[in-house]
Amino acid sequence: MSQVTDSSLQPASFTTPIQRVRGTNDFLPAHEARLRKLEGALRERFARYGYEGIQTPILEPLDLFLRKSGDEIVARMYAFSHWNRRLCLRPELTASVMRAYVGELQGRTLPVRLSYSGPTFRYERPSRGRYRQFTQVGLELIGVGGAAADAEILHLACGGLDALGVKSYRLVVGHLGVVLQMLRQLGMSEHAQGLILDLMEPLTRGRLAADDAVRRVVELLGGGAAAEGPDGALVGGGEQEMWGLADLAPDQAAAVVADVLRHTRLPLAGGSRQPREIIERLLARAHRPDPTAQVRTAVEFVLRLHEAAGGAEKMSLLHELLEEQGLSTEPLHEMQAALDLLRAYGVAEADGGGREVAWEVDLSLARGLRYYTGLVFEVYVDTEDGPLQVCGGGRYDDLIRALGARESIAACGFSFGLERLDLIGASSDDQPARLPRVLVVAVEEADHPDAIEVAGQVRAGLAERCVVEQSLRFGGLKAALRHADRSETDVVLLVGDRERREGTVALREMRSRAEQQVTRGDLTDVLRKLLT
Amino acid sequence: MSDGALRIALPSKGMEDDTLRFLRACGLTLDRTNPRQYQARMRGLPSGPAEVVFQRAADIFDEVEHGTVDLGITGYDIVAEHRAEEDNVLMVHGELGYQRCALVLAVPEGWLDVASASDLAEVAADLRARGRELRVATKYSNLTRQFLYDRGITYFTLVEVSGAIEAAPALDTADAICDLTSSGVTLRENRLKTIAGGTVVESQACLIGNRRTLAASPQRLTATRELLELIEAYLRARKHISLTANIRGENAEAVARLVIGAGDAAGLLGPTVARVYPKDPAREREDGGEWYAVTVVVTEPVLLGAVEALRRAGASSISGTPVHYVFEHRSWTFEALKRQVGGGGVDDQSAYLRTKTMAWSSS
């Protein structure tokens, strides 16, 4: 009984098949061709609008994405240290393209239009349409701000879907200017603003309750209950009040603290921080108000914006909402201007061209990235399993400067998820018909050099008209013809002893099984007639 | 050694004594010709002895993952740090109840302004703004990185220290540490303090197994079931006490009613009541009513309540004895294991680890 199990008890060895990494795909020939065509159709469309291709490395310094991408992305990155350098697989392409722009293209006349495609990586729970390696196909428009540029990229996103025959989709447009204005008005620090931007997506998608969102942000900001330390930490909120530090002038307070510490003989340092830094922060902390009310206001505002989302008819409601909060309605005007221009481009709701484009304005749209500053948008296509986001992008006027540019440069862009486009059945119109296949067979190994010549002659004479495959196994005629049948070959060209002597080729049509001897000189013409 | 014997790895060094004590309490003994040997046989399983190898707790996860052993006892912290999405490791029993400790973040005592994880996030941002970076020394890089990310801390460097981690801040090779602590004494001695919300994971000893080797051998699976039965019965029993008291009443039913009516004293199922035959029957008749011995098994938290209830029911001389084993009609952990081993239960296993780890990652 125990004998039976022995082989299966061996540890995994060199002969065990290697599994594909979870959340990644092997795209097999037919599928791969389809994806390549989708990508080609999009890139070609972008090129016609003046977007030049750029390719950046998959491997990037980790710092590139720590600067501005936001915690949601950072926590999902494939990051590692290799020989003491911190690297990562890119989780998106915009930051990479902007890094390249800052490094090498800054001198160019603006605007600079760039398009790209390539694999990106995020460690997320895999599901339908969500993979850990996925392909982004997109573009960036650098150096122009305002509605004109926004409208161009919106149009190209819709145009890209047009090129792939996707006629029915929903375009959700937002503008981060509204929420950012509100957060600044509330006096929130940049850190706090980032935390709110990060949770806008889970909050509005119902993945995070409002109370939990408030609690989380307050906790991360160090307000409320989180300030009570264990271990008798000196700085629980209550103790500060007892010391009355908050009421003292900063330098007096610093002196008091320094004095107390001298008496308690607590070593006021550790790691790389100076005592001065520690006391300064301790006092700053004592003066800081509880952020709970602020955060709650921000979270409720985001939810109100989300509730007010809808079609064009909601615009006046949104105007009212902003005015009520004392916020500028400039972002709404900017958005409206872009949408109006989009009409001029010919993208409109149910415009009679068989397209069904539903528009929706949602000012709570944040896209889970921290670098957006203005108009943002996402495109959804309905599937059996619910709506699938196939495209997303927006304006990020601060990113280039954050990556070390000499000045702030307006920029916007978007990307498609290639695998998702494939999933919704998008296909490029200009699908070339299947090319006829020709197989060149050497009967004996000695005939191979002549067979190579024949194949070369056909490829040169009938370029783009057919696929020429060279048989590399000299297993005899029968085996070669069997292979031709299985590989859906149209014509087999045989080169044997007799053909070599006579300067001919035996041409066999696989469908009719008709065979003829053709001289090498006539071969190209005969084939051309046969294959067209 | 027989071909199909269960192979189990036990932790040497730090965890060895507690593990041997635990196994002994479960009724399992080790044959070892001398205590410095790394191999032994474990007796006490009805289906025969198991092969035992002693390994460092940190290496046991890998041994189980590779299938060189079928089962292993190690710390949950090690499992949480080493687990991978598609590994072969099953959590067979997650709470063996000893070697309790926690992986915590600790900072220098002198950092008066740091009392919580959010303070640390701010310090990390401050340091970054000054062109420096928060350095955290740890042997648990996966758990630490994830923990910091979850708290919005993205600017940090993990420092790999092989020796005494808690000395790193004093030596200025790190600013903070992330290490195991049970009493906090070592932290204090090194002038470090924990912070609010700084517990990365709570840990204790746990039993893990290799999915493939267990699935492939009914014999080893049987031995595993026996092992689990003993462990479960012991762990369950640790919380139970058997109480015996003498109570007077008209008959057995009346006494039982009295005891059940007294609430906490009802026991697991109900009392066992047996007649006591007095040395002096005449005296019994004088006092009225017969004596009965009542036995109930109660859990630790209700022990005093049960004693009180028995007194109210008129009990005299109550004696309590610890229960060594409590067997239920089946082993629940083995049922769970069978589901994981059979039915290609990759998801079951990851679901288990998910729930275990979600508990701390979402908190």
pLDDT digit string, tens, across residues A318-365? 999 999 999 999 999 999 999 889 888 876 554 545 567 788 999 999
Strand B71-75 to B7-11 pairing: parallel
Q: Identify the pLDDT of residue A1.
A: 40
The nearest CA of chain A is from the CA of B289 a distance in Å of 59
Greater confidence (B265 vs A224) lies with: B265
At A291, phi and psi to the nearest 5? Answer: -80, 0
DSSP-assigned states of every residue in A348-395: -TT-SSS-EEEEEE-TT--TT-S---SEEEEEEEEETTEEEEEEEEEE
Q: Identify the pLDDT of residue A243.
A: 56
Q: Identify the pLDDT of residue A192.
A: 86
Greater confidence (B358 vs A86) lies with: A86
Q: Kindly state the DSSP code that residue A22 receives in the 8-state scheme.
A: T
Greater confidence (B338 vs A526) lies with: A526
Q: Identify the pLDDT of residue A269.
A: 59
User: In chain B, which residues have their Cβ closer than 8 Å to the Cβ of A233?
Assistant: 112, 115, 193, 195-196
Cα(A173)–Cα(A379) distance, rounded to whole angstroms? 9
Least confident of A199-213, A247-261, A516-530: A247-261
Chain A contact for B177 (CB, 8 A cutoff): no
pLDDT at A368 > cutoff 50: yes
pLDDT per residue, tens digit, chain B (363 aa), is 345 899 999 998 888 889 999 999 898 998 887 777 788 999 999 889 999 999 999 899 999 999 999 999 999 999 999 998 877 899 999 999 899 999 999 999 888 889 888 889 889 888 888 888 899 999 999 999 989 988 888 889 999 887 788 888 888 889 999 999 988 888 988 889 999 889 999 999 999 999 989 888 889 999 999 999 899 888 888 778 888 888 888 888 888 888 888 777 777 778 888 888 877 766 666 666 788 888 888 887 788 888 888 888 888 788 888 777 777 767 777 887 877 776 443 333 333 333 333 333 322
| pLDDT, tens digit (0-9, with 9 covering 90-100), for A16-62 | 788 899 999 999 988 998 999 999 999 999 999 999 999 999 999 99
Contacts with B191 (C-beta within 8 Å, 6 or more apart), sequence order: A267, A270, B108, B109, B110, B170
Cα(A75)–Cα(A72) distance, rounded to whole angstroms? 6
Q: Are B49 and B254 in contact (CB under 8 A)?
A: no
Percent of the residues in chain A that have a pLDDT greater than 70, as a whole number: 87
* Residue among A3, A222, A278 minimizing CB distance to B116: A222
Cα dihedral A393/A398/A402/A407 (nearest 10): 130
Cα dihedral B140/B146/B150/B151 (nearest 10): 30
Those of residues 47-106 in B touching chain A at CB distance below 8 A are 66-68, 85-86
Chain B contact for A226 (CB, 8 A cutoff): yes
* Residue among B123, B149, B174 minimizing CB distance to A71: B149
Q: Are B271 and B256 in contact (CB under 8 A)?
A: yes
| pLDDT, tens digit (0-9, with 9 covering 90-100), for A257-268 | 777 776 766 666
Q: Identify the pLDDT of residue B247.
A: 87
Q: Identify the pLDDT of residue A347.
A: 66
Q: Identify the pLDDT of residue B194.
A: 93
Q: Identify the pLDDT of residue A460.
A: 92
Q: Identify the pLDDT of residue A267.
A: 65
Q: Which residue type, as a one-letter code, is found at position A399?
A: L
CB contact under 8 A, A271 and B108: yes
- Which residue in chain A has the smallest CA separation from B216? A5
The nearest CA of chain A is from the CA of B107 a distance in Å of 8
pLDDT at A64 > cutoff 80: yes
> What b/e readout covers B7-24, taking b as 16+ CB neighbours within 10 angstroms?
bbbbbbeebeeebbebbe
| pLDDT, tens digit (0-9, with 9 covering 90-100), for A476-499 | 888 889 989 888 899 999 999 999
